[in-house]
Each structure stands twice: as structure tokens, then as C-alpha cells.
Amino acid sequence: MDKLALLGVLLAITAIYLGQTMEGGHFASLINAPALLIVVGGSLGAIMIQAPLQVFRRSLAMLSWMLHPPTVRWKRSIHKVTSWSETARKEGILGLEDSMRREKDPFTKKAMQLLIDGREPETIRSTLEIDLETCEEFEYAAAKVYEAMGGYAPTIGILGAVMGLIHVMENLSDPANLGRGIAVAFVATIYGVGLANLFLIPLSKKFQSIIKNTMREKEMIMEGVVCIASGENPRNIAVRLQAYNTDRYGSKA
């Protein structure tokens, strides 16, 4: 579970609640179902017009990363690639067939298949680089769906506020409720700005950070496989792959 993201959400909600109550307002005055419907429904509709179907589906699948983001265990990944190089040196490239069958990641499986097939190192690199670039572009496009929604939400919030003010103007004969009606109208603006800046845009940036890390792991695996194909020493391979390890800057593997 991403404890830092969860803490961030709780902190944002708490700050808004305390700020509202300290100013003498009531948190209940920020709750308005029609305004929420306009902002969420309008933003979702706008992004559905913008994004291709496959990208939109992938963006929905990424929502699970909010609680259980994919993590890269660098030491384990480096050890795995190094063990492949040791097996290849002792048993030959064909000795990696069992390891390839156990792999679940399609990119890693393809990399090992190219290696076992006896492809030249540069052929392996160029083939995998195309796969890596295509995958990265698709993943980033899906993550940026939320960033785009964050761009639409404030404007749609203003649209909801204007709609609310129109409703207020239609009821000028009831002066007692004018203040309350105007206040409710501006709730849509709060929803739009808040949803964009406290949730959608940060979520997009979080996903992009995760994607960058996972793509870096794939790049490391590609480099390791190319080194194995080139017949490099396992120790040299381990040293080279360690350069990809971001955990060495502070966090544990």
C-alpha cells in the first residue's frame, strides 16, 4: 500500500475541513450533489472524447496503483540478471530456457527468447528498444489522462457555477435565499479546482513516476541481456546494472 499517497489524501481533506470550520463555515455547505455530478461527469465525458479507447481502459486499470503501486526491487532484479549470465557462462545460452519459461513479464520473456535464439547483441538491443519505446509511450498516454482531466475540471467547475448563478437569477423574487443560492453555485468551482489540484494532477504525476521506474527496470534487463549476448563477465555485468539502481540513493530494496 502506498502509505505516503494515503497520508497526502488525508492531509488535504483535513486541511480543507479545518480551514472551513476555522472561518466559521460548515463542512456540510461544501457538499452539493448536482455540482459534483457536473464536475465529475463533465470532466469524464471530456476525457472520453479526447482519449482513444485502449488508452482510456489502461488509465482505469492504473487506478489500482493508488493503493498497490508496482515496485521495483532492484537488488533482486540485478541478482536475477546476473544469475542468467552465470548460467549462460556455465551451461551455454540454451541453459536459460528454464528461466525463460518461469518469466511472467512479456518484455523479459521476449528479451530472453531473442538471447536464446542466438541473435546478435545489436539486433537484440534495437528490437527491444522499439518495444520499450512503444510501451513507454502507451503507458505515459494512459497516465496523462488524469492530467488532462485535471485541466478540464476547473473550467467545468466554472461552468457549473455559472449554471448555478443562472438558477439564482431566475429566483430573484426570493431575496432571503439569494445568499445561500450564490454560495451553492460556487461549490462547483471548488469541486473543479480541488479535484484537479488535490487529486487528478498529483495522481497523474504519481503514475508517471511509477512508469519511469518500471521502464528503467526494463531498460536494465535489456542491457543485461545484451551484455550476456556479448559474452561479458558476470561481475562486470553486475557492476554495470548497479548503475540503474535508484535504491542506492536512500531507500531499501
pLDDT tens, position by position, 58-83? 999 999 998 888 888 899 999 999 99
* Residues of the chain under the 70 pLDDT cut: 1, 176-177, 179-180, 248-253
Residue 84 half-sphere exposure, CB side, CA atoms within 13 Å? 33
Q: Considering the entire predicted model, what is its pTM?
A: 0.85
Q: In this structure, are residues 46 and 149 in contact, taking their beta carbons and an 8 Å threshold?
A: yes
What pLDDT shows up at residue 33? 87
Which sequence spans correspond to the domains of the chain? 1-31, 33-249
What pLDDT shows up at residue 249? 61
Helix (H, G, I), strand (E, B) or coil at 26: coil
Distance from C-alpha of 217 to C-alpha of 212, rounded to nearest angstrom = 9
What pLDDT shows up at residue 137? 96
Burial state string for 69-85 with b = 16 or more CB within 10 A and e = fewer than 16: beebebeebbeebbebb
Residue 250 DSSP one-character state: S
Distance from C-alpha of 50 to C-alpha of 29, rounded to nearest angstrom = 33
H helix intervals, 26-120: 33-50, 53-61, 74-91, 97-102, 106-116
Give the number of other Cβ atoms within 10 Å of residue 184's Cβ: 19
Q: In this structure, are residues 113 and 163 in contact, taking their beta carbons and an 8 Å threshold?
A: no
